Amino acid sequence: MHMVAKPSGGMQQVLKLSLAATFCYVVATFYFGLRAHSLALISEAGHNVSDMLAIVLSYVAVYFQTRPATEEKTFGYQRAGVLAAFVNALTLIVLAGWIAFAALHRLATPEPVQPKLMMYVAAAGVIMNGVIAGLLWRFSGDVNIRSVFLHMLGDTLSTAAVILGGLAILFTGMTWIDPVLSMIIAGMILYSSYGIVRETLHILLEGTPKNLQLHEIRASMQSVEGVLNVHDLHVWSLGSSSHALASHVTIAEMPLSDCSAILEGINCALRDRFHIHHTTLQFETRGCETTHGCAAPPELEVAGGHAHHHHGHSH
């Protein structure tokens, strides 16, 4: 049974720090947004509330990913992070719609804003979000953490835009710049969220991992000496970076010891070239009407791999 590798304590510490800093910034942005009558700042507060939700969900997901597999959850909780990222991205899409709607209303009924206050608060946000995004980047190989990283990176860019907008309002007096900035922020949120929704939904629907090509995997398996054919081949993701494979493999009738050598060759190819450690391989024999297929016993599994259920298949 596969055991999920425990995420580093550094990942959890970064998420805790991000949560505390984001909470403080949400309170400050909302308060000063109201004082400055800036929809752009209030939009930033809403964006950062979604960041808080993202961080909380991601932290919970990291916790669940450390839990071992059980008889009820045989693959453990590897998809907890994927599910958290999916929920995060959906909340961002809803938030983007709300910001765009509020910005259109503000364009119809413009209000005076305080550009200097906008710029000061936004500058603090650029520094905070930039630092957090830099810390999260180290763990961005995980789609769960990457969704939070994109939140913070988007915030860094959008708060930088608020600074430029405040500067433009200060020199031109054009208050419509504030809601236009809000619409730009909404567009950035929507763009970053769409990619996460698509990637996580692909994993949840057990699609073939984007970085793997099924024909290449089949060719690699069939190149192992003794393999005649590979069919019923399925590859899917357990988590953001953990893949599994199930397949039928046709071989010629041979002694059991030769079968185990083929099994080892296939698993080595899958592990070394494609980083697939979870395999379920069912051997079928060709040209044999009376015997049952050969199966490699558990003690002959490849060291360091996680190949399971190497069944025989009768003909």
Q: What is the pLDDT of residue 218?
A: 92
Residues of CATH 3.30.70.1350 domain(s) within the chain? 214-308
Q: Could you tell me the pLDDT band of residue 188, with boundaries at 50, 70 and 90?
A: confident
Q: Could you tell me the pLDDT band of residue 55, with boundaries at 50, 70 and 90?
A: confident
- DSSP-derived secondary structure for the chain: ---PPPPPHHHHHHHHHHHHHHHHHHHHHHHHHHHHT-HHHHHHHHHHHHHHHHHHHHHHHHHHHTSPP-SSSTTTTTTHHHHHHHHHHHHHHHHHHHHHHHHHHHHHS-----HHHHHHHHHHHHHHHHHHHHHHHTTTTSHHHHHHHHHHHHHHHHHHHHHHHHHHHHHH--TTHHHHHHHHHHHHHHHHHHHHHHHHHHHHTTPPPTT--HHHHHHHHHTSTTEEEEEEEEEEESSSS-EEEEEEEEEES--HHHHHHHHHHHHHHHHHHH---EEEEEEEEES-SSSPPP---GGGSPTT-EEE-------
Residues 206, 210, 216, 217: is their CA dihedral positive or negative?
negative
- Give the domain 214-308 fold: Alpha-Beta Plaits (3.30.70)
Residues 97, 102, 106, 108: is their CA dihedral positive or negative?
positive
Q: For the segment 261-290, what is each residue's pLDDT rounded down to a tens digit?
A: 888 889 998 988 888 888 889 888 875 443
Indicate the pTM of the whole model. Answer: 0.66
- Note the CATH number of domain 9-204: 1.20.1510.10
Q: How far apart are CA 116 and CA 163, in angstroms?
A: 9
Two tokens, residue 280: 């379920």
Q: What is the pLDDT of residue 47?
A: 72
Answer with the residue of higher pLDDT: 314 or 186: 186
Specify the range with the lowest mean pLDDT, choosing from 58-72, 252-266, 275-289: 58-72
Mean pLDDT of the 160-174 span? 85
Residues of CATH 1.20.1510.10 domain(s) within the chain? 9-204
